[in-house]
Amino acid sequence: MNLADELRKTYKSLQQEKLKEFYRHVSFGDLISERHEIAAAYGFGKGTTCYDNVLILGDVIVGSNTWIGPNVILDGLGGLEIGDYCSISSGVQIYSHDTVKWSTSMGSEPMEKAPTSIGSGVYIGPNSVIQKGLTVGDRAIIGAMSFVNSNIPADVKAWGSPARIV
């Protein structure tokens, strides 16, 4: 048996275990890694979990007991801080830089960076986008598929494109 055959056999076995235990299918990386170990490797807080397919760039600080779902982008190139007890749903993109001026100036302007902050107890719904340089306050709720392009205060619900407080 060659290595590819061994990997396929192991993959099928791990898939069956995950299906039996959790009734779910996940990517190969999530079958062979533990989410809490991934979070710990990046220095995220105790009890935080992070799927294997999360893209983590730059300086990202995450507090304790935060869940980071699959297919998330955490862009810390300008600095990103996420508090405790947050739920970062599948497909969320949180940015701290952009290349708009770099692109439109044909490379003569640098990328722009600004720190982004997500408070504690925040829920960000699936496929939402948080632009660079913003603050989302403690216990805020961001609805699914929202485009957040302004600061969101604590203890509010906001959704839409652009996100508005409701």
The CATH number of whichever domain residue 44 belongs to comes to 2.160.10.10
Indicate if 73 and 123 belong to the same structural domain. Answer: yes
Indicate if 67 and 106 belong to the same structural domain. Answer: yes
Indicate if 98 and 149 belong to the same structural domain. Answer: yes
Indicate if 19 and 96 belong to the same structural domain. Answer: no
Indicate if 156 and 95 belong to the same structural domain. Answer: yes
Indicate if 96 and 147 belong to the same structural domain. Answer: yes
Indicate if 49 and 65 belong to the same structural domain. Answer: yes
The whole-number pLDDT of residue 27 equals 82
Nearest to 71 by CA among 133, 12, 26: 26
Q: What is the pLDDT along the chain (166 residues), one digit of tens a residue?
A: 799 999 899 889 989 988 888 887 888 888 888 899 999 999 999 999 999 999 999 999 999 999 999 999 999 999 999 999 999 999 999 999 999 999 999 999 999 999 999 999 999 999 999 999 999 999 999 999 999 999 999 999 999 999 999 9
Q: Name the residue range of residue 19's domain.
A: 1-32
The whole-number pLDDT of residue 112 equals 98
Q: Confirm if 116 and 133 have CB atoms less than 8 A apart.
A: yes
Q: What pTM, to 2 d.p., does this model score?
A: 0.91
The whole-number pLDDT of residue 26 equals 81
Indicate if 77 and 134 belong to the same structural domain. Answer: yes
3-state secondary structure 99-157: CHHHHHCCCCCCCEECCEEECCCCEECCCCEECCCCEECCCCEECCCCEECCCECCCCE
- Give the containing element (helix H, strand E) for 56: strand 55-62
The Cα 87–Cα 104 span in angstroms is 35
Number of domains the chain is built from: 2
Indicate if 28 and 93 belong to the same structural domain. Answer: no
The Cα 12–Cα 117 span in angstroms is 40
Indicate if 7 and 26 belong to the same structural domain. Answer: yes
Indicate if 42 and 17 belong to the same structural domain. Answer: no
The whole-number pLDDT of residue 49 equals 97
- Largest Cα–Cα distance of the chain, in whole Å? 60
The whole-number pLDDT of residue 1 equals 78
The Cα 166–Cα 164 span in angstroms is 6
Indicate if 54 and 112 belong to the same structural domain. Answer: yes
